[in-house]
Chain A
Protein backbone atom coordinates (compact mmCIF):
# COMPACT_ATOMS: atom_id res chain seq x y z
CA UNK A 1 0.00 0.00 0.00
CA UNK A 2 1.24 3.47 -0.88
CA UNK A 3 2.12 5.55 2.19
CA UNK A 4 0.04 8.70 2.73
CA UNK A 5 2.98 10.48 4.44
CA UNK A 6 6.48 9.64 3.30
CA UNK A 7 9.72 11.22 4.52
CA UNK A 8 12.96 10.17 2.85
CA UNK A 9 16.23 11.32 4.45
CA UNK A 10 14.64 14.58 5.58
CA UNK A 11 16.92 17.02 7.42
CA UNK A 12 16.03 20.43 8.77
CA UNK A 13 17.84 23.16 10.72
CA UNK A 14 16.52 26.49 11.98
CA UNK A 15 18.54 29.68 11.32
CA UNK A 16 20.16 29.46 14.73
CA UNK A 17 21.16 26.34 16.62
CA UNK A 18 21.97 22.74 15.78
CA UNK A 19 19.98 20.72 13.22
CA UNK A 20 16.46 19.95 14.47
CA UNK A 21 16.10 16.85 12.30
CA UNK A 22 18.75 14.70 10.66
CA UNK A 23 18.08 12.16 7.90
CA UNK A 24 14.64 11.14 9.08
CA UNK A 25 12.91 8.49 6.98
CA UNK A 26 9.40 7.49 7.91
CA UNK A 27 6.40 6.17 6.00
CA UNK A 28 2.89 6.38 7.39
CA UNK A 29 0.30 4.16 5.72
CA UNK A 30 -3.27 5.26 5.17
CA UNK A 31 -5.41 4.36 8.19
CA UNK A 32 -2.51 4.22 10.61
CA UNK A 33 -2.61 5.77 14.09
CA UNK A 34 0.98 6.84 14.64
CA UNK A 35 2.28 8.04 17.98
CA UNK A 36 5.30 10.32 17.77
CA UNK A 37 7.29 10.42 21.00
CA UNK A 38 10.59 11.88 22.10
CA UNK A 39 12.18 14.41 24.42
CA UNK A 40 11.59 18.17 24.35
CA UNK A 41 13.48 19.75 21.48
CA UNK A 42 13.69 16.35 19.82
CA UNK A 43 12.10 17.73 16.66
CA UNK A 44 8.54 16.39 17.01
CA UNK A 45 6.85 19.73 16.36
CA UNK A 46 9.36 20.52 13.62
CA UNK A 47 8.48 17.27 11.88
CA UNK A 48 4.77 18.12 12.04
CA UNK A 49 5.44 21.62 10.64
CA UNK A 50 7.32 20.04 7.73
CA UNK A 51 4.42 17.67 7.03
CA UNK A 52 2.01 20.63 7.19
CA UNK A 53 4.17 22.57 4.73
CA UNK A 54 4.80 25.39 7.20
CA UNK A 55 8.55 24.65 6.95
CA UNK A 56 10.59 23.45 3.97
CA UNK A 57 13.01 20.53 4.43
CA UNK A 58 16.68 21.52 4.18
CA UNK A 59 17.33 18.30 2.32
CA UNK A 60 15.55 15.04 1.60
CA UNK A 61 12.12 14.37 0.18
CA UNK A 62 8.70 14.72 1.75
CA UNK A 63 5.45 13.61 0.10
CA UNK A 64 1.97 13.90 1.55
CA UNK A 65 -0.76 12.00 -0.31
CA UNK A 66 1.64 11.65 -3.23
CA UNK A 67 2.23 15.39 -3.62
CA UNK A 68 3.81 18.34 -1.85
CA UNK A 69 2.65 19.15 1.69
CA UNK A 70 1.23 22.46 0.42
CA UNK A 71 -0.89 20.67 -2.18
CA UNK A 72 -2.17 18.25 0.46
CA UNK A 73 -3.17 20.90 3.01
CA UNK A 74 -6.84 20.69 2.15
CA UNK A 75 -6.99 17.08 3.33
CA UNK A 76 -5.11 17.67 6.58
CA UNK A 77 -6.73 18.65 9.87
CA UNK A 78 -4.33 20.15 12.41
CA UNK A 79 -4.69 20.57 16.17
CA UNK A 80 -1.89 22.78 17.53
CA UNK A 81 0.11 22.06 20.67
CA UNK A 82 -1.50 24.84 22.66
CA UNK A 83 -3.92 27.63 22.01
CA UNK A 84 -1.89 30.23 20.10
CA UNK A 85 -4.65 32.79 20.31
CA UNK A 86 -5.39 35.31 23.07
CA UNK A 87 -7.78 33.83 25.60
CA UNK A 88 -9.90 36.99 25.64
CA UNK A 89 -10.45 36.97 21.87
CA UNK A 90 -14.16 37.65 21.29
CA UNK A 91 -15.14 34.50 19.42
CA UNK A 92 -17.71 31.80 20.10
CA UNK A 93 -17.14 28.05 19.97
CA UNK A 94 -19.18 27.77 16.78
CA UNK A 95 -17.28 30.58 15.03
CA UNK A 96 -14.01 28.88 15.97
CA UNK A 97 -15.09 25.52 14.56
CA UNK A 98 -16.41 27.18 11.38
CA UNK A 99 -12.86 28.43 10.68
CA UNK A 100 -12.15 24.83 9.69
CA UNK A 101 -14.38 25.45 6.66
CA UNK A 102 -12.09 28.16 5.29
CA UNK A 103 -10.72 27.13 1.94
CA UNK A 104 -13.80 24.97 1.38
CA UNK A 105 -16.52 27.57 2.04
CA UNK A 106 -17.31 30.23 -0.56
CA UNK A 107 -14.80 33.08 -0.79
CA UNK A 108 -17.12 36.03 -0.10
CA UNK A 109 -19.50 36.71 2.76
CA UNK A 110 -20.43 34.24 5.48
CA UNK A 111 -20.67 30.45 5.66
CA UNK A 112 -23.29 28.42 3.81
CA UNK A 113 -25.76 25.94 5.34
CA UNK A 114 -23.56 23.02 4.27
CA UNK A 115 -20.59 24.50 6.18
CA UNK A 116 -22.73 24.99 9.28
CA UNK A 117 -23.92 21.40 9.06
CA UNK A 118 -20.35 20.05 8.84
CA UNK A 119 -19.38 22.24 11.82
CA UNK A 120 -22.42 21.03 13.76
CA UNK A 121 -21.51 17.39 13.17
CA UNK A 122 -17.90 18.06 14.21
CA UNK A 123 -19.09 19.72 17.43
CA UNK A 124 -21.49 16.85 18.15
CA UNK A 125 -18.73 14.31 17.61
CA UNK A 126 -16.39 16.09 20.06
CA UNK A 127 -19.28 16.76 22.49
CA UNK A 128 -19.06 20.54 22.45
CA UNK A 129 -22.34 21.14 20.62
CA UNK A 130 -24.10 22.45 23.72
CA UNK A 131 -21.24 24.94 24.23
CA UNK A 132 -21.49 26.36 20.71
CA UNK A 133 -22.69 29.84 21.75
CA UNK A 134 -20.20 30.19 24.60
CA UNK A 135 -17.23 32.54 24.18
CA UNK A 136 -14.09 30.45 23.78
CA UNK A 137 -12.43 32.33 26.66
CA UNK A 138 -14.90 30.93 29.23
CA UNK A 139 -14.08 27.27 28.48
CA UNK A 140 -11.80 24.96 30.46
CA UNK A 141 -8.54 23.71 28.95
CA UNK A 142 -10.09 20.35 28.08
CA UNK A 143 -13.09 21.98 26.43
CA UNK A 144 -10.87 24.29 24.35
CA UNK A 145 -8.91 21.24 23.19
CA UNK A 146 -12.15 19.55 22.07
CA UNK A 147 -13.15 22.70 20.20
CA UNK A 148 -9.79 22.67 18.42
CA UNK A 149 -10.31 19.02 17.48
CA UNK A 150 -13.78 19.95 16.18
CA UNK A 151 -12.20 22.75 14.12
CA UNK A 152 -9.78 20.23 12.60
CA UNK A 153 -12.67 17.80 11.89
CA UNK A 154 -14.60 20.61 10.18
CA UNK A 155 -11.85 20.47 7.52
CA UNK A 156 -13.16 16.96 6.75
CA UNK A 157 -9.59 15.67 6.78
CA UNK A 158 -8.09 12.41 5.52
CA UNK A 159 -5.16 12.97 7.87
CA UNK A 160 -5.52 14.32 11.40
CA UNK A 161 -2.35 15.76 12.95
CA UNK A 162 -2.30 16.54 16.66
CA UNK A 163 0.57 18.14 18.59
CA UNK A 164 0.37 17.14 22.27
CA UNK A 165 -3.42 17.34 22.32
CA UNK A 166 -3.71 16.49 26.01
CA UNK A 167 -0.94 18.69 27.45
CA UNK A 168 -3.43 20.74 29.48
CA UNK A 169 -5.95 18.04 30.34
CA UNK A 170 -6.31 15.79 33.36
CA UNK A 171 -5.99 12.02 33.09
CA UNK A 172 -9.70 11.33 32.70
CA UNK A 173 -10.05 13.93 29.97
CA UNK A 174 -7.02 12.42 28.28
CA UNK A 175 -8.62 8.97 28.19
CA UNK A 176 -11.87 10.37 26.83
CA UNK A 177 -10.20 12.35 24.06
CA UNK A 178 -8.05 9.38 23.00
CA UNK A 179 -11.16 7.18 22.92
CA UNK A 180 -12.51 9.74 20.46
CA UNK A 181 -9.31 9.60 18.37
CA UNK A 182 -9.57 5.79 18.27
CA UNK A 183 -13.07 6.18 16.85
CA UNK A 184 -11.94 8.78 14.32
CA UNK A 185 -9.09 6.50 13.25
CA UNK A 186 -11.69 4.27 11.58
CA UNK A 187 -12.06 6.85 8.84
CA UNK A 188 -8.80 8.84 8.88
CA UNK A 189 -5.05 8.54 9.36
CA UNK A 190 -3.91 10.02 12.66
CA UNK A 191 -0.48 11.27 13.71
CA UNK A 192 -0.28 12.32 17.34
CA UNK A 193 2.68 13.80 19.20
CA UNK A 194 2.76 12.79 22.83
CA UNK A 195 5.07 12.77 25.82
CA UNK A 196 3.39 9.75 27.35
CA UNK A 197 4.42 6.53 25.56
CA UNK A 198 2.84 4.21 28.06
CA UNK A 199 -0.52 5.89 27.72
CA UNK A 200 -0.68 6.23 23.95
CA UNK A 201 0.54 2.69 23.32
CA UNK A 202 -2.97 1.58 24.29
CA UNK A 203 -4.36 3.48 21.33
CA UNK A 204 -1.81 3.84 18.54
CA UNK A 205 -0.95 1.23 15.94
CA UNK A 206 2.71 2.23 15.90
CA UNK A 207 5.11 4.39 17.87
CA UNK A 208 7.92 6.43 16.29
CA UNK A 209 10.56 7.73 18.65
CA UNK A 210 12.23 10.93 17.56
CA UNK A 211 15.27 12.68 18.93
CA UNK A 212 16.73 14.70 16.06
CA UNK A 213 16.86 11.45 14.20
CA UNK A 214 14.38 8.61 14.15
CA UNK A 215 15.48 6.19 16.87
CA UNK A 216 12.89 3.52 16.24
CA UNK A 217 9.51 2.86 14.87
CA UNK A 218 7.88 -0.05 16.49
CA UNK A 219 4.83 -1.87 15.20
CA UNK A 220 2.19 -2.95 17.67
CA UNK A 221 1.52 -4.85 19.80
CA UNK A 222 4.02 -3.20 22.07
CA UNK A 223 5.06 -5.59 24.83
CA UNK A 224 6.15 -4.47 28.25
CA UNK A 225 9.72 -5.11 27.21
CA UNK A 226 9.47 -2.73 24.22
CA UNK A 227 7.91 0.01 26.31
CA UNK A 228 10.73 -0.34 28.78
CA UNK A 229 13.20 -0.04 25.96
CA UNK A 230 11.45 3.10 24.70
CA UNK A 231 11.56 4.67 28.12
CA UNK A 232 15.17 3.78 28.62
CA UNK A 233 16.52 4.67 25.24
CA UNK A 234 16.69 8.46 25.27
CA UNK A 235 18.21 8.39 28.71
CA UNK A 236 20.91 6.00 27.61
CA UNK A 237 21.72 7.53 24.26
CA UNK A 238 21.40 11.23 24.94
CA UNK A 239 23.09 12.08 28.20
CA UNK A 240 21.96 15.73 28.02
CA UNK A 241 18.43 14.95 26.87
CA UNK A 242 15.36 15.54 28.96
CA UNK A 243 14.49 12.19 30.47
CA UNK A 244 11.32 13.42 32.20
CA UNK A 245 9.58 13.38 28.85
CA UNK A 246 9.70 9.63 28.78
CA UNK A 247 8.34 8.95 32.20
CA UNK A 248 4.88 7.55 32.47
CA UNK A 249 2.24 9.24 34.54
CA UNK A 250 1.56 7.82 38.00
Chain B
Protein backbone atom coordinates (compact mmCIF):
# COMPACT_ATOMS: atom_id res chain seq x y z
CA UNK B 1 0.00 0.00 0.00
CA UNK B 2 2.86 2.40 0.85
CA UNK B 3 4.48 1.51 -2.47
CA UNK B 4 1.23 2.60 -4.14
CA UNK B 5 1.19 5.94 -2.35
CA UNK B 6 4.80 6.53 -3.27
CA UNK B 7 4.16 5.67 -6.90
CA UNK B 8 1.06 7.85 -6.89
CA UNK B 9 3.04 10.99 -6.17
CA UNK B 10 5.48 10.36 -9.02
CA UNK B 11 3.39 8.75 -11.78
CA UNK B 12 0.84 10.73 -13.73
CA UNK B 13 -0.84 7.55 -14.99
CA UNK B 14 -1.79 6.57 -11.45
CA UNK B 15 -3.20 10.03 -10.78
CA UNK B 16 -5.20 9.72 -13.99
CA UNK B 17 -6.41 6.32 -12.85
CA UNK B 18 -7.63 7.71 -9.52
CA UNK B 19 -9.36 10.59 -11.30
CA UNK B 20 -10.97 8.16 -13.76
CA UNK B 21 -12.27 6.11 -10.83
CA UNK B 22 -13.77 9.18 -9.18
CA UNK B 23 -15.37 10.44 -12.41
CA UNK B 24 -16.83 7.01 -13.07
CA UNK B 25 -18.16 6.88 -9.50
CA UNK B 26 -20.16 10.09 -9.98
CA UNK B 27 -22.06 8.69 -12.97
CA UNK B 28 -22.40 5.29 -11.31
CA UNK B 29 -23.76 6.67 -8.06
CA UNK B 30 -26.44 8.75 -9.76
CA UNK B 31 -27.51 6.52 -12.63
CA UNK B 32 -26.88 3.31 -10.67
CA UNK B 33 -29.35 4.46 -8.01
CA UNK B 34 -32.05 4.83 -10.67
CA UNK B 35 -31.12 1.44 -12.15
CA UNK B 36 -31.41 -0.22 -8.74
CA UNK B 37 -34.70 1.36 -7.61
CA UNK B 38 -36.30 0.97 -11.07
CA UNK B 39 -34.89 -2.57 -11.33
CA UNK B 40 -33.52 -2.28 -14.84
CA UNK B 41 -30.14 -3.92 -14.22
CA UNK B 42 -30.76 -6.38 -17.04
CA UNK B 43 -31.50 -3.58 -19.50
CA UNK B 44 -28.32 -1.80 -18.41
CA UNK B 45 -26.37 -5.01 -18.98
CA UNK B 46 -27.87 -5.26 -22.46
CA UNK B 47 -26.79 -1.71 -23.29
CA UNK B 48 -23.28 -2.34 -21.95
CA UNK B 49 -22.63 -5.49 -23.94
CA UNK B 50 -24.23 -4.32 -27.17
CA UNK B 51 -21.68 -1.51 -27.13
CA UNK B 52 -18.89 -3.88 -28.20
CA UNK B 53 -20.51 -3.96 -31.65
CA UNK B 54 -20.08 -0.21 -32.02
CA UNK B 55 -16.52 -0.27 -30.72
CA UNK B 56 -15.59 -3.05 -33.14
CA UNK B 57 -17.08 -1.24 -36.14
CA UNK B 58 -15.36 2.03 -35.16
CA UNK B 59 -12.07 0.19 -34.77
CA UNK B 60 -12.49 -1.49 -38.18
CA UNK B 61 -13.15 1.89 -39.83
CA UNK B 62 -10.13 3.41 -38.12
CA UNK B 63 -12.24 5.70 -35.94
CA UNK B 64 -11.95 6.22 -32.19
CA UNK B 65 -13.33 3.16 -30.37
CA UNK B 66 -14.65 5.31 -27.54
CA UNK B 67 -16.54 7.45 -30.08
CA UNK B 68 -17.98 4.24 -31.53
CA UNK B 69 -18.88 3.16 -28.03
CA UNK B 70 -20.76 6.42 -27.42
CA UNK B 71 -22.80 6.11 -30.64
CA UNK B 72 -23.44 2.41 -30.07
CA UNK B 73 -24.45 2.92 -26.43
CA UNK B 74 -26.98 5.65 -27.26
CA UNK B 75 -28.35 3.56 -30.15
CA UNK B 76 -28.56 0.43 -28.00
CA UNK B 77 -30.33 2.36 -25.24
CA UNK B 78 -32.96 3.64 -27.70
CA UNK B 79 -33.53 0.18 -29.22
CA UNK B 80 -33.65 -1.61 -25.86
CA UNK B 81 -35.90 1.07 -24.39
CA UNK B 82 -38.26 0.80 -27.35
CA UNK B 83 -38.30 -3.00 -27.05
CA UNK B 84 -38.99 -2.73 -23.33
CA UNK B 85 -41.91 -0.33 -23.84
CA UNK B 86 -43.36 -2.03 -26.92
CA UNK B 87 -42.83 -5.76 -26.29
CA UNK B 88 -42.88 -5.93 -22.50
CA UNK B 89 -43.85 -9.59 -22.53
CA UNK B 90 -40.83 -10.69 -24.59
CA UNK B 91 -38.48 -8.08 -23.19
CA UNK B 92 -35.91 -10.45 -21.70
CA UNK B 93 -35.64 -12.67 -24.78
CA UNK B 94 -35.18 -9.75 -27.18
CA UNK B 95 -32.67 -7.97 -24.95
CA UNK B 96 -30.74 -11.24 -24.49
CA UNK B 97 -30.55 -11.56 -28.29
CA UNK B 98 -29.36 -7.96 -28.74
CA UNK B 99 -26.80 -8.51 -25.98
CA UNK B 100 -25.23 -11.51 -27.74
CA UNK B 101 -25.56 -10.17 -31.30
CA UNK B 102 -23.89 -6.88 -30.33
CA UNK B 103 -20.92 -8.68 -28.84
CA UNK B 104 -20.63 -11.03 -31.83
CA UNK B 105 -20.60 -8.08 -34.26
CA UNK B 106 -17.83 -6.46 -32.23
CA UNK B 107 -15.67 -9.57 -32.20
CA UNK B 108 -16.14 -10.14 -35.96
CA UNK B 109 -15.15 -6.57 -36.86
CA UNK B 110 -12.17 -6.58 -34.52
CA UNK B 111 -10.92 -9.87 -35.98
CA UNK B 112 -11.24 -8.46 -39.56
CA UNK B 113 -9.33 -5.28 -38.77
CA UNK B 114 -5.95 -5.22 -40.57
CA UNK B 115 -2.76 -4.39 -38.72
CA UNK B 116 -1.83 -5.51 -35.24
CA UNK B 117 -4.63 -7.09 -33.29
CA UNK B 118 -6.26 -4.77 -30.81
CA UNK B 119 -6.23 -5.71 -27.20
CA UNK B 120 -9.78 -7.04 -27.03
CA UNK B 121 -9.28 -7.70 -23.35
CA UNK B 122 -8.96 -4.00 -22.59
CA UNK B 123 -12.44 -3.34 -24.09
CA UNK B 124 -13.95 -6.23 -22.20
CA UNK B 125 -12.22 -5.67 -18.88
CA UNK B 126 -11.04 -2.06 -19.11
CA UNK B 127 -7.68 -0.62 -18.33
CA UNK B 128 -7.86 2.08 -15.73
CA UNK B 129 -4.07 2.49 -15.82
CA UNK B 130 -4.15 3.58 -19.46
CA UNK B 131 -6.75 6.35 -19.43
CA UNK B 132 -5.43 9.26 -21.51
CA UNK B 133 -6.05 12.86 -20.54
CA UNK B 134 -8.58 13.45 -23.36
CA UNK B 135 -10.68 10.56 -22.12
CA UNK B 136 -10.69 12.05 -18.63
CA UNK B 137 -12.09 15.24 -20.13
CA UNK B 138 -14.71 13.25 -22.04
CA UNK B 139 -15.69 11.44 -18.82
CA UNK B 140 -15.99 14.74 -16.96
CA UNK B 141 -18.14 16.13 -19.77
CA UNK B 142 -20.48 13.11 -19.72
CA UNK B 143 -20.71 13.41 -15.92
CA UNK B 144 -21.71 17.04 -16.42
CA UNK B 145 -24.50 16.05 -18.84
CA UNK B 146 -25.84 13.45 -16.39
CA UNK B 147 -25.74 15.82 -13.38
CA UNK B 148 -27.46 18.58 -15.37
CA UNK B 149 -30.23 16.26 -16.62
CA UNK B 150 -30.89 14.92 -13.12
CA UNK B 151 -30.94 18.39 -11.54
CA UNK B 152 -33.40 19.60 -14.17
CA UNK B 153 -35.76 16.62 -14.22
CA UNK B 154 -35.33 15.02 -10.79
CA UNK B 155 -39.06 15.26 -10.03
CA UNK B 156 -40.00 13.44 -13.21
CA UNK B 157 -37.30 10.75 -12.92
CA UNK B 158 -38.35 10.08 -9.32
CA UNK B 159 -42.01 9.85 -10.32
CA UNK B 160 -41.31 7.46 -13.20
CA UNK B 161 -39.15 5.20 -11.00
CA UNK B 162 -41.49 5.27 -8.01
CA UNK B 163 -44.98 5.00 -9.47
CA UNK B 164 -45.21 5.01 -13.25
CA UNK B 165 -49.02 4.92 -13.39
CA UNK B 166 -49.39 7.94 -11.12
CA UNK B 167 -46.73 9.81 -13.10
CA UNK B 168 -48.72 9.15 -16.29
CA UNK B 169 -51.90 10.45 -14.62
CA UNK B 170 -50.08 13.66 -13.70
CA UNK B 171 -49.24 14.24 -17.36
CA UNK B 172 -45.59 13.18 -17.17
CA UNK B 173 -44.51 11.73 -20.55
CA UNK B 174 -43.43 8.46 -18.97
CA UNK B 175 -41.91 6.91 -22.11
CA UNK B 176 -39.74 9.99 -22.72
CA UNK B 177 -38.26 9.89 -19.23
CA UNK B 178 -37.87 6.13 -19.30
CA UNK B 179 -35.83 6.46 -22.50
CA UNK B 180 -33.97 9.39 -20.92
CA UNK B 181 -33.04 7.14 -18.04
CA UNK B 182 -31.67 4.53 -20.46
CA UNK B 183 -29.74 7.20 -22.36
CA UNK B 184 -28.07 8.18 -19.07
CA UNK B 185 -27.30 4.51 -18.53
CA UNK B 186 -25.66 4.54 -21.98
CA UNK B 187 -23.48 7.54 -21.10
CA UNK B 188 -22.48 5.87 -17.84
CA UNK B 189 -21.56 2.67 -19.66
CA UNK B 190 -19.22 4.63 -21.94
CA UNK B 191 -17.59 6.27 -18.91
CA UNK B 192 -17.22 2.90 -17.18
CA UNK B 193 -15.74 1.04 -20.14
CA UNK B 194 -12.52 2.94 -19.47
CA UNK B 195 -12.40 1.85 -15.88
CA UNK B 196 -13.64 -1.71 -15.62
CA UNK B 197 -14.51 -2.65 -19.19
CA UNK B 198 -17.95 -3.50 -20.49
CA UNK B 199 -18.21 -6.97 -18.96
CA UNK B 200 -17.84 -5.57 -15.44
CA UNK B 201 -19.86 -2.38 -16.02
CA UNK B 202 -22.95 -3.85 -14.45
CA UNK B 203 -21.16 -4.52 -11.16
CA UNK B 204 -19.95 -0.96 -10.67
CA UNK B 205 -23.27 0.42 -11.87
CA UNK B 206 -25.35 -1.53 -9.37
CA UNK B 207 -23.22 -2.59 -6.38
CA UNK B 208 -22.43 0.81 -4.80
CA UNK B 209 -26.05 1.91 -5.32
CA UNK B 210 -27.39 -1.36 -3.95
CA UNK B 211 -25.29 -1.01 -0.77
CA UNK B 212 -26.36 2.63 -0.39
CA UNK B 213 -30.00 1.63 -0.92
CA UNK B 214 -29.89 -0.62 2.13
CA UNK B 215 -29.45 2.41 4.36
CA UNK B 216 -30.56 5.54 2.50
CA UNK B 217 -33.83 7.27 3.38
CA UNK B 218 -34.08 9.28 0.17
CA UNK B 219 -32.96 8.87 -3.42
CA UNK B 220 -30.63 11.87 -3.13
CA UNK B 221 -28.93 10.37 -0.06
CA UNK B 222 -28.68 7.05 -1.88
CA UNK B 223 -26.92 8.73 -4.81
CA UNK B 224 -24.49 10.62 -2.57
CA UNK B 225 -23.59 7.50 -0.59
CA UNK B 226 -23.22 5.46 -3.79
CA UNK B 227 -20.81 8.05 -5.22
CA UNK B 228 -18.66 7.96 -2.06
CA UNK B 229 -18.69 4.15 -2.03
CA UNK B 230 -17.72 4.09 -5.70
CA UNK B 231 -14.77 6.39 -5.05
CA UNK B 232 -13.71 4.21 -2.12
CA UNK B 233 -13.93 0.99 -4.17
CA UNK B 234 -12.06 2.34 -7.21
CA UNK B 235 -9.28 3.97 -5.13
CA UNK B 236 -8.85 1.04 -2.78
CA UNK B 237 -9.07 -1.49 -5.62
CA UNK B 238 -6.42 0.40 -7.52
CA UNK B 239 -4.14 0.49 -4.47
CA UNK B 240 -4.64 -3.19 -3.65
CA UNK B 241 -3.99 -4.31 -7.22
CA UNK B 242 -0.88 -2.17 -7.70
CA UNK B 243 1.87 -4.05 -5.81
CA UNK B 244 0.89 -7.64 -6.79
CA UNK B 245 0.17 -6.39 -10.35
CA UNK B 246 -3.43 -7.70 -10.39
CA UNK B 247 -5.98 -6.52 -13.01
CA UNK B 248 -7.31 -3.29 -11.49
CA UNK B 249 -10.86 -3.52 -12.91
CA UNK B 250 -11.43 -7.03 -11.59
CA UNK B 251 -9.99 -6.10 -8.18
CA UNK B 252 -12.33 -3.10 -7.94
CA UNK B 253 -15.38 -5.18 -8.84
CA UNK B 254 -14.42 -7.95 -6.43
CA UNK B 255 -14.02 -5.39 -3.65
CA UNK B 256 -17.47 -3.94 -4.39
CA UNK B 257 -18.99 -7.42 -4.53
CA UNK B 258 -17.51 -8.47 -1.18
CA UNK B 259 -18.66 -5.19 0.39
CA UNK B 260 -22.17 -5.78 -0.92
CA UNK B 261 -22.32 -9.32 0.46
CA UNK B 262 -21.00 -8.20 3.85
CA UNK B 263 -23.48 -5.33 3.98
CA UNK B 264 -26.42 -7.53 2.98
CA UNK B 265 -25.42 -10.23 5.48
CA UNK B 266 -24.86 -7.71 8.28
CA UNK B 267 -28.21 -6.09 7.60
CA UNK B 268 -29.96 -9.44 7.50
CA UNK B 269 -28.43 -10.36 10.85
CA UNK B 270 -29.42 -7.00 12.33
CA UNK B 271 -33.03 -7.42 11.23
CA UNK B 272 -33.04 -11.02 12.41
CA UNK B 273 -31.85 -10.03 15.86
CA UNK B 274 -34.91 -7.82 16.24
CA UNK B 275 -33.50 -4.40 15.45
CA UNK B 276 -36.36 -4.05 13.02
CA UNK B 277 -38.95 -1.36 13.46
CA UNK B 278 -42.53 -2.52 13.66
CA UNK B 279 -43.91 -2.58 10.17
CA UNK B 280 -46.92 -4.12 8.54
CA UNK B 281 -46.53 -6.31 5.49
CA UNK B 282 -46.84 -4.58 2.12
CA UNK B 283 -50.33 -4.12 0.80
CA UNK B 284 -51.76 -6.50 -1.70
CA UNK B 285 -54.79 -6.27 -3.95
A-facing residues in B158-212 (Cβ within 8 Å) = 158-159, 161-163, 165-172
Q: Are B280 and A140 in contact (CB under 8 A)?
A: yes
Q: Are B218 and A88 in contact (CB under 8 A)?
A: no
Give chain A residues whose Cβ lies under 8 Å from the Cβ of B161: 89
User: Could you tell me the distance in whole angstroms from the C-beta of B180 to the nearest C-beta in chain A?
Assistant: 14
Is A203 in the interface zone, CB < 8 Å from B?
no
Is B155 in the interface zone, CB < 8 Å from A?
yes
Query: Contacts A103-B172, A105-B155 known; A82 to B285 CB distance under 8 Å?
Result: yes
Q: Are A82 and B218 in contact (CB under 8 A)?
A: no
Q: 5 shortest A-B CB distances, which residue pairs?
A: A102-B170, A103-B171, A82-B283, A103-B170, A168-B283
Partner-binding segment picked from B22-30, B72-80, B126-134, B146-154: B146-154
Is B156 in the interface zone, CB < 8 Å from A?
yes
B-facing residues in A70-90 (Cβ within 8 Å) = 73-74, 76, 78, 80-90
Is A3 in the interface zone, CB < 8 Å from B?
no
Q: 9 more A-B contacts (CB under 8 A) besides A87-B282, A135-B218?
A: A91-B162, A95-B158, A96-B162, A102-B159, A102-B170, A103-B171, A110-B154, A138-B279, A145-B283
Is A241 in the interface zone, CB < 8 Å from B?
no
Query: Contacts A108-B153, A135-B217 known; A83 to B283 CB distance under 8 Å?
Result: yes
A-facing residues in B226-285 (Cβ within 8 Å) = 277-285
Is A24 in the interface zone, CB < 8 Å from B?
no
Query: Contacts A54-B168, A99-B170, A141-B280 known; A92 to B155 CB distance under 8 Å?
Result: no
Is A167 in the interface zone, CB < 8 Å from B?
yes
Q: Are A86 and B37 in contact (CB under 8 A)?
A: yes
Give chain A residues whose Cβ lies under 8 Å from the Cβ of B153: 108
Interface flags, A140-168, vs B, CB<8A=1, else 0: 11001100000100010000000010011
User: Could you tell me the distance in whole angstroms from the C-beta of B20 to the nearest C-beta in chain A?
Assistant: 28
Q: Are A80 and B166 in contact (CB under 8 A)?
A: yes
Query: Contacts A103-B171, A141-B283 known; A90 to B151 CB distance under 8 Å?
Result: no
Give chain B residues whose Cβ lies under 8 Å from the Cβ of A135: 217-218
Q: Are A54 and B152 in contact (CB under 8 A)?
A: no
Q: Which of B155, B162, B213, B282 has the most CB atoms of chain A within a 10 A radius of its CB?
A: B155
Q: Are A110 and B155 in contact (CB under 8 A)?
A: yes
User: Could you tell me the distance in whole angstroms from the C-beta of A227 to the nearest C-beta in chain B?
Assistant: 25
Main secondary structure on B side of the interface with A: helix
Give chain B residues whose Cβ lies under 8 Å from the Cβ of A140: 278-280
| CA–CA, A103 and B280, complex, Å | 32
Task: Provide a sorted-by-A list of 20 A–B residue pairs whose CB atoms are within 8 angstroms.
Answer: A54-B168, A76-B169, A81-B285, A83-B282, A83-B283, A85-B163, A89-B37, A89-B161, A90-B216, A91-B218, A91-B219, A99-B155, A102-B156, A102-B170, A105-B155, A109-B151, A135-B217, A137-B279, A151-B166, A155-B170
Give chain B residues whose Cβ lies under 8 Å from the Cβ of A88: 213
Q: Which of B166, B213, B280, B284 has the most CB atoms of chain A within a 10 A radius of its CB?
A: B166
Q: Are B171 and A74 in contact (CB under 8 A)?
A: yes
Give chain B residues whose Cβ lies under 8 Å from the Cβ of A138: 277, 279
Query: Contacts A76-B169, A80-B166, A111-B155 known; A92 to B217 CB distance under 8 Å?
Result: yes
Q: Which of A52, A74, A86, A164 has the most CB atoms of chain B within a 10 A radius of its CB?
A: A86
Q: Are A99 and B163 in contact (CB under 8 A)?
A: yes
Q: Are A144 and B283 in contact (CB under 8 A)?
A: yes
Q: Are B165 and A80 in contact (CB under 8 A)?
A: yes
Give chain B residues whose Cβ lies under 8 Å from the Cβ of A86: 37, 39
Is B222 in the interface zone, CB < 8 Å from A?
yes
B-facing residues in A173-201 (Cβ within 8 Å) = none
Interface flags, A82-126, vs B, CB<8A=1, else 0: 111111111110011011101101001111000000000000000
User: Could you tell me the distance in whole angstroms from the C-beta of A36 to the nearest C-beta in chain B?
Assistant: 16
Q: Are B152 and A108 in contact (CB under 8 A)?
A: yes
| CA–CA, A86 and B279, complex, Å | 14
| CA–CA, A140 and B278, complex, Å | 8
Q: Are B219 and A90 in contact (CB under 8 A)?
A: yes
User: Could you tell me the distance in whole angstroms from the C-beta of A138 to the nearest C-beta in chain B?
Assistant: 6
| CA–CA, A30 and B167, complex, Å | 25
Query: Contacts A83-B283, A109-B151 known; A54 to B165 CB distance under 8 Å?
Result: yes
Give chain A residues whose Cβ lies under 8 Å from the Cβ of B280: 140-141, 168
User: Could you tell me the distance in whole angstroms from the C-beta of A93 to the nearest C-beta in chain B?
Assistant: 11
Nearest chain A residue, comparing its CB with the CB of B155: A102
Give chain B residues whose Cβ lies under 8 Å from the Cβ of A52: 169
Q: Are B285 and A167 in contact (CB under 8 A)?
A: yes
User: Could you tell me the distance in whole angstroms from the C-beta of A141 to the nearest C-beta in chain B?
Assistant: 5
